[in-house]
Amino acid sequence: MPYVNIQVTKGVSRKQKVELVKDVTDSLVRVLGKNPDHIHVVIQEINEENWGFSGLLTDEWKQQQGRSSSSE
């Protein structure tokens, strides 16, 4: 029983989620020969202030990128 957990920052549309679940399921069927009835896909949306990388929280990083691109 494959279990796939996809974590993304908030803002993913329902249409995008449907496409992700379908594509991940199709890939597991095609590549691993799994039964689609046994595949579970969970999408977790994380607030940007709860996700960090490059030494910054995502909302801070995006603010910095906005300042960088507006000064170019």
What are the catalytic residues? 2
User: How much is the CA Rg of the chain, to the nearest whole Å?
Assistant: 17
DSSP reduced 3-state for 13 = coil
Task: For residue 6, list its beta bridge partners.
Answer: 43
Distance CA 27, CA 33 (A): 9
